Amino acid sequence: MLAKSPNSAGLILVAAVSGRALAQAARRAGYRVRVADFFADDDTMAAAEKVVRLPGSLRDGVDANRLVDALGELAGRDFALTEVVGGGDAAVRHPGSRNDIEAIRDPFRDVADYPERFRNGSRIAALCSVPSDFRDDARRGLQSEGGLEALILGSGFERTPGLVDELARHFSLAGNRGDAVRRVKDPEILASDCSKIGIKHPEFSWAAPADPENWISKRVGGAGGAHVQCVKAKTASADGYFQRRIDGQSISALFIAEGKRAHIVGFSRQWTSPTTAAPYRYGGAVRLRRFDRGDAAMIGGWLSGLTERAGLVGLCSADFIRNHDGYHLIEINPRPGSTLDIFDAVEAPLLQAHVSACRGEPFDLPRFGESMASSIAYTSNSIAHFPELAWPHWTADRQAAGSRLERGDPVCTVFARGPSASEARRGVRAKLRQVERAWGGGQP
């Protein structure tokens, strides 16, 4: 993926559990970027001017009391450091070497395996217009402030909509405010909205079901699949609820919302990488080259209805289960999600579209002539000292040499392209086996 070099487009702040994908997407869109996340891995530091540890922890979540100060410091103007310093609370790097820039330009390139990305005009841009009343309101709420273009939030904030609003009071937030997050992440409100629009949605309950084998338990505001469990107890956790299990094929729609209408970027098929402790753990996704036009129009109408009710803006995703009874909406993710890597395009960068949509300005959507898949490699055993590897170009989120890993920890993300979804998925499976052999591990 070719990236524009940093230019005068402005500075993007990213706060997320893992900020790598957003950082690279921001660079592809031509922005400068600084990141606060829990990992501060090499890929993120190569993409960003500055990286700091997000206050808090993976176990306890983001420390709201320290976040505003941490992001304020991150947005400062001190660029004196030119290399990674320390391994504790902060890691800082000022990129600019040719190697750094090249790593962002095509981190997933493998000439032997991937077809030529731009050929025969396989991608075009669709210009999306935004109503003027929404555009004027949005512009007043999102203005560049002294070179800071916007703050973009990734995963880790769905459970704390109040914190989202607090951040919006201090920074130009390009993304959904707390009210929108609450509306789509509250299972009772989402179920009601789906019913009014005519969207099939699994039955939900705050109370323990009488037939637990047919239900799953979820956490309000949960992200990814780790919080989803088979129902074994008769009570939910304090922040949990029950959802009737729907069997079928997992389909996700990536879309850009502009307050009243949703514009679909594309569809993907997702899969799990289950363990006993996490039966719905996220495994990966493949971008679908083909999708039924009638189904796409129907889903687009549903998402426009939900967008207008919640006031959604920017990049969002919707997860469905497709079976003999049609499509069932499982949840809405009101932020850039896990499929950003496989949908981003240099000729129509999604982070630029995200910022533009949040401002109420027109934006371009990419079109695709091939499929792309991504999958997470997990270790099946504890590793006291992760070995030093010569990582292929088609990996990201790579564990650092010397890291201590527990069984089931993620090791890296693997990417592959192909002329069809099935070919791309076969390619990513082969690459998973290749990296697993390199560190001597496998999927748990």
State the Cα–Cα distance between residues 33 and 27, nearest whole angstrom: 7
State the Cα–Cα distance between residues 49 and 23, nearest whole angstrom: 10
pTM of the model: 0.82
Instruction: Tell me which residue of 311, 336, 8, 13 sits closest to 171, measured CA to CA.
Output: 13
**For residue 410, what are the β-bridge partners?**
378
Angle between helices 187-197 and 293-310 (to 10 degrees): 130
State the Cα–Cα distance between residues 3 and 349, nearest whole angstrom: 9
Other residues' Cβ atoms within 10 Å of the Cβ of residue 253 = 25
pLDDT band of residue 167 (cuts 50, 70, 90) is: very high
Q: Which residue has the higher pLDDT, 23 or 381?
A: 23
- Range 330-364 burial, b when 16+ CB lie within 10 A, else e: bbbbbbbbbbbbbbbbbebbbbbbbbbbbbbbebb
Q: What are phi and psi of 86, to 5 degrees?
A: 70, 160
Among 207-211, 373-377, 378-382, name the most confident range: 373-377
pLDDT band of residue 223 (cuts 50, 70, 90) is: low
**For residue 377, what are the β-bridge partners?**
412
Could you give the C-alpha distances from 138 to 69, 142, 245, 312, 363, in angstroms and in order? 25, 6, 38, 12, 14
State the Cα–Cα distance between residues 135 and 238, nearest whole angstrom: 39
Instruction: Tell me which residue of 33, 14, 172, 130 sits closest to 363, measured CA to CA.
Output: 130
- Tokens 């992440």 correspond to 185
Contact criterion met (CB below 8 Å) for 356 and 324: no
| pLDDT tens, residue by residue, 259-293 | 999 999 999 999 999 888 788 889 999 999 999 99
Q: Residue 100: what pLDDT? A: 38
The domains of the chain are located at 11-108+145-174, 187-439
- Element of type H or E holding 343: helix 340-343
CA count, 13 A, side-chain hemisphere, 396: 28
State the Cα–Cα distance between residues 47 and 35, nearest whole angstrom: 9
Q: Which residue has the higher pLDDT, 253 or 440?
A: 253
Annotation: CATH topology of 11-108+145-174:
Rossmann fold (3.40.50)
**Range with the poorest average pLDDT among 115-129, 183-197, 336-350:** 115-129
**Quick check: 80 pLDDT over 90?**
no
Other residues' Cβ atoms within 10 Å of the Cβ of residue 297 = 11
Angle between helices 187-197 and 178-185 (to 10 degrees): 80
- Tokens 């009014």 correspond to 196
Task: Decide if 11-108+145-174 and 187-439 have a common fold.
Answer: no
State the Cα–Cα distance between residues 100 and 138, nearest whole angstrom: 35
Q: Is 77 exposed, middle or buried (0-12, 13-18, 19+ CB in 10 A)?
A: exposed
| pLDDT tens, residue by residue, 387-402 | 999 999 999 999 889 9
Phi-psi region of 224 (alpha: psi -120 to 50; beta: other; left: phi over 0): left
State the Cα–Cα distance between residues 180 and 311, nearest whole angstrom: 6
- Tokens 């560049």 correspond to 144
**Quick check: 28 pLDDT over 60?**
yes
Q: Residue 9: what pLDDT? A: 65
Q: What is the overall mean pLDDT for the chain?
A: 82
| pLDDT tens, residue by residue, 133-145 | 444 444 444 444 4
- Tokens 């650092």 correspond to 400
Q: What percent of the chain has pLDDT over 90?
A: 65
Assigned CATH class of 187-439: alpha beta
